[in-house]
Structure 1
Amino acid sequence: MKVGVLTRHAVANYGSVLQAYATQKAIEKTGHESEIINYIRKDEFDINISKTMLFRNKAWNSNLLRRIVYIILQTPVYTSTFRTFRKYTKRLLKETRRVYFTSEEIQNNTNYDLYCVGSDQVWGQIGCSEYDPCYFLDFARDGEKCISYASSFGKDSISESLRKELPKLLIKFDNISVRESSAKELLAELGICSHHVLDPTLLLTKKEWNEIADDNQKYHGYVLIYQLHDNKLLEKYAKDFANYIGKRLIRISNSFLYYFKSGKLCYMPSPERFLSLIKNADYVITDSFHATVFSLIFERKFVDILPTNTGTRIISLLKMLKLEDRIVTDYDDFSKLENEVNYINAKKILSEERRNSLFILKEMIEH
């Protein structure tokens, strides 16, 4: 069977690119073929991204002068980042040659045995919209099979308006699976049955990720920081720990502005090198879900400093693996990072969950 996959593949984010890659590989593991439907919203495309980000930034969107300054400064940055990541996705993913900007374009120009949406935050705020009906497969015709794999709202709670719409948005789905236990509970409250499954990046083994990791790098014996949210406490913790342990601090970022932050900036590495930087780090300090995932896969010493609004997915994963102790709450305490991670138990749990999730994915596709 040929599966048309709709996911957040074109976002300038390592987790988004690598989860799309993993979804394709996981579907291949079940014995089927897949193709990423190359859907990119116009408000997330190229030069429009800076306007979208401004819309969501209350501080810079407060008056006309601030808006003008933001657009002038950020448009070249976002445009360059978007185009660089598009090169990465074209190399790693099997995409449709055509780029689609609307549901209608997808409906009139695609033909698959079934459609699969997921994973990542496909059911949360996207661009300038509270949610995007396209990620609820609104383009699928009557009788066409629809499933979701590891879809996420990104948060524990959703708006009342989306809650009211969900039964209608999900009515055409034959099977639903979600990434967080909180999402499963939320859907259950609405009388919607779903499976709780692993993020697709966890469906591939350490060996499979090693096959694409680029180990041709110059850094050795370092503390790695990968930070997605503005958090001075996280930055201070990473800097203080690197000084305490006497190791170099390496920072991954898509923004050259982080050149002025603590640590040696590794600016916009390829996804393959991103994997290698985590794989070869002595310690990883992050607020990123997918940096946490790859720290687990490569069995690194790591800690999470949770972001304010989107920490639910990290908490859900660490609870499942009995590793909640990797969450930092005392910013003067380095013992969590120094302590060994109980990978013996975590790998047993992960192996079982991987088998279960792959079984569910295969069942959803075939039945």
Structure 2
Amino acid sequence: MKKVGIITLFGYNNYGNRLQMYATQKVYKDLGFESEIIKYKQEITYKDPFIIRLKILVRYILFLRTNVVITFLKKLRIKNFKKHAKKYYSESKKYVDPLNIDATFHKSYAFLSVGSDQIWGWFNYNIADLIFLQFTPKEKRITFSPSFGSAIIAEKYSKIYAQGLEGFNNISVRESSGTTIIKEFTNKEATVLCDPTMCVSKADWLTFATSHKKKPTKKYILTYFLGEKSPKVVSLIAELSKEYEIIALNSFNAPKYYAITPSEWVDYINDASLFLTDSFHGVVFSTVLQTPFVVYSRVGGESMQTRISHILEKFNMENRFEISENTASLFIIDFLKTEEIIAIEKLKVYAFLEESIR
């Protein structure tokens, strides 16, 4: 069976990232391909004088000493993710150096696929050879819903992106804003495809899901924030806590939930009475699993506005953005047309990929 090598953001700490990897592999399996996620690390090269590097090291050591619990929880999550990966994912045995990719590396694969997630984000400009698949012949390059993560690419990176994007025959992107970037740099038309996680049915996600040992038996409201919570959100959660148990994922203040596996993360969303989040994939899974949700702007972190706006518009759920009052409407969403929209988007994905691998 032919094999596809998958290039996406790589790590063992982000739920949405790991779940889109799983979904991407499932899609390629449906198309009759083996696949594996290509592991890579970005080494940080310091150009600072020795004294500056020493100060950075000292600050880091002090951080570890004063944040023992946080350090432990982060390591535990990585450990649990790696254990989970052995069961559910196929990954390359060795790590690739993105700055020094062997000229024969691509020969192990029939095709190389880039996406999904923010693999084309500006922060990856220094590994263009990897993210634009420039190490492999043009006819072996596939795009599967890569995201730029924003609506614009800074002028200082334009030459890198123009050269990289020109190397694809067919281009897909995850957000409609990405088509504008593609047009600007290549004058080509790009196809907007959904996130790979939407290509997996609710039934299949529930088969993948597992129940956390410490999951409550009574009704709960779930929160998952990658940034800080605004005062309005904090106030809303306090109000809701009078009637519901609050389960806070990704919070060091709730350590027993911090290191759950991706399968447990899916299960928590599925059984929640309400899900409050600032995460793109939080919205995706709420939609697929048909769990009432509210999504908020990210505070103190990378903006999610482009990605969030795109998916809310796609499903006509703009009214699920920034709700801050405790009303009955919090718990009511009309998911009537959700499955129909997802089915159409899924057909687009398979049609695009089948065309790309001919």
**What's the TM-score, normalizing by structure 1?**
0.83
1:121 equivalent among 113, 118, 121: 118
Q: CA deviation at 1:232?
A: 3.3
Q: CA deviation at 1:65?
A: 7.1
For residues 107 and 208 of structure 1, the distance between their equivalents in structure 2, rounded to whole angstroms, comes to 38
- Does residue 22 (structure 1) correspond to residue 23 (structure 2)? The answer is yes
2:142, 2:356 within 8 Å by CA — same for their partners in 1? yes
Secondary structure of residue in 2 paired with 1:104: coil
Deviation by residue 1:275-306 (Cα, 9 ceiling, x = unmatched): 10001111100001111111111111111012
Shift of the 323–16 alpha-carbon distance from structure 1 to 2, 3 Å rule, reads: same
- Does residue 314 (structure 1) correspond to residue 308 (structure 2)? The answer is yes
For residues 125 and 87 of structure 1, the distance between their equivalents in structure 2, rounded to whole angstroms, comes to 31
For residues 165 and 284 of structure 1, the distance between their equivalents in structure 2, rounded to whole angstroms, comes to 39
2:138, 2:169 within 8 Å by CA — same for their partners in 1? no
1:224 equivalent among 202, 222, 225: 222
Q: Which residue of 2 aligns with 1:346?
A: 338
- Does residue 186 (structure 1) correspond to residue 181 (structure 2)? The answer is yes
Deviation by residue 1:121-156 (Cα, 9 ceiling, x = unmatched): 101144xx555311111222x455111111011112
For residues 103 and 286 of structure 1, the distance between their equivalents in structure 2, rounded to whole angstroms, comes to 35
Q: Which residue of 2 aligns with 1:202?
A: 198
Which residue identity does 1:114 align to in structure 2? F
Aligned positions of 1:146-161 closer than 5 A: 146-161=141-156
Aligned positions of 1:1-367 closer than 5 A: 1-43=2-44, 69-70=62-63, 73=67, 78-110=74-106, 111-126=108-123, 130-133=125-128, 134-140=130-136, 142-190=137-185, 191-215=187-211, 217=213, 218-219=215-216, 220-233=218-231, 235-243=233-241, 246-253=243-250, 257-259=252-254, 266-307=257-298, 309-328=303-322, 331-332=324-325, 334-338=327-331, 340-366=332-358
Superposed CA RMSD in Å reads 2.7
Shift of the 278–192 alpha-carbon distance from structure 1 to 2, 3 Å rule, reads: same
Shift of the 8–193 alpha-carbon distance from structure 1 to 2, 3 Å rule, reads: same
Deviation by residue 1:249-272 (Cα, 9 ceiling, x = unmatched): 00111x5x333xxxx851210111
For residues 265 and 242 of structure 1, the distance between their equivalents in structure 2, rounded to whole angstroms, comes to 21
For residues 97 and 224 of structure 1, the distance between their equivalents in structure 2, rounded to whole angstroms, comes to 36
For residues 361 and 124 of structure 1, the distance between their equivalents in structure 2, rounded to whole angstroms, comes to 22
For residues 40 and 185 of structure 1, the distance between their equivalents in structure 2, rounded to whole angstroms, comes to 30
1:321, 1:350 within 8 Å by CA — same for their partners in 2? no
1:224, 1:250 within 8 Å by CA — same for their partners in 2? yes
Secondary structure of residue in 1 paired with 2:40: coil
For residues 280 and 130 of structure 1, the distance between their equivalents in structure 2, rounded to whole angstroms, comes to 39
Secondary structure of residue in 1 paired with 2:357: helix
Q: CA deviation at 1:318?
A: 1.0
Can you give the 5+ residue segments of structure 1 that lack an aligned partner in the other structure?
52-61
Deviation by residue 1:181-234 (Cα, 9 ceiling, x = unmatched): 111122122313211000000011101111110136532310000111122336
For residues 234 and 173 of structure 1, the distance between their equivalents in structure 2, rounded to whole angstroms, comes to 45
2:145, 2:192 within 8 Å by CA — same for their partners in 1? yes
Can you give the 5+ residue segments of structure 2 that lack an aligned partner in the other structure?
47-54
Corresponding residue pairs, total = 338
For residues 4 and 130 of structure 1, the distance between their equivalents in structure 2, rounded to whole angstroms, comes to 20
Q: CA deviation at 1:30?
A: 1.9
For residues 19 and 226 of structure 1, the distance between their equivalents in structure 2, rounded to whole angstroms, comes to 17
1:150, 1:199 within 8 Å by CA — same for their partners in 2? yes
Q: Which residue of 1 aligns with 2:50?
A: none
Q: CA deviation at 1:239?
A: 1.9
**What's the TM-score, normalizing by structure 2?**
0.85
Shift of the 293–226 alpha-carbon distance from structure 1 to 2, 3 Å rule, reads: same
Shift of the 132–241 alpha-carbon distance from structure 1 to 2, 3 Å rule, reads: farther
